[in-house]
């Protein structure tokens, strides 16, 4: 089957420090995965942060970046300098153009402290 793994349930980072949230995926059926990061800010609904559909490409949004690495089946989310306003829950997801749904990871709660 298909699955997405986020190893960290919670991450605490000091403001202005760098961040990496790990995401790896596994698929037995999807030839050309599409990869997503969604985010839920406190008090808001879940929303798309960024999406990459081509292996080797990088997506970016709000200062965050993620590179689709087909060799390591990874899509880690990175930011060079986090702000308190980045505190949120981040979900990695796997989909397919010809498919009908996406698989989500378990989510990583990011807390940025002053």
Q: Which residues bind other proteins (CB under 8 A)?
A: 6, 9, 34, 36, 38, 45-48, 51, 53, 91, 95-102, 104-107
> What backbone torsions phi and psi does residue 109 show, to the nearest 5 degrees?
-90, 120
CB of 100 to other proteins, least distance (A): 4
DSSP 55-104: TT-EEEETTEEEE-BTTTTB--EEESS--GGG-EEEEEEEEETTSS--EE
Task: Name which of 45 and 114 has its Cβ closer to other proteins.
Answer: 45
> Which residue has tokens 């979900």?
91
CB of 81 to other proteins, least distance (A): 27
CB of 69 to other proteins, least distance (A): 19
The total number of residues written for the chain in this structure: 114
Task: Name which of 60 and 99 has its Cβ closer to other proteins.
Answer: 99
Task: Name which of 44 and 71 has its Cβ closer to other proteins.
Answer: 44
> Which residue has tokens 């879940």?
46
Task: Name which of 19 and 95 has its Cβ closer to other proteins.
Answer: 95
């Amino acid at each position: 089957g298909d699955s997405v793994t986020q190893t960290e349930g919670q991450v605490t980072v000091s403001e202005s420090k760098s961040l990496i949230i790990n995401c790896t995926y596994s698929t037995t059926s999807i030839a050309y995965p599409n990869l997503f990061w969604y985010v839920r800010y406190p008090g808001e609904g879940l929303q798309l942060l960024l999406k990459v559909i081509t292996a080797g490409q990088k997506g970016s949004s709000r200062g965050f970046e993620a590179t689709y690495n087909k060799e390591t089946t990874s899509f880690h989310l990175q930011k060079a300098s986090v702000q308190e306003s980045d505190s949120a829950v981040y979900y990695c997801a796997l989909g397919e153009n010809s498919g009908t749904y996406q698989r989500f990871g378990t989510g990583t709660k990011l807390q940025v402290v002053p």
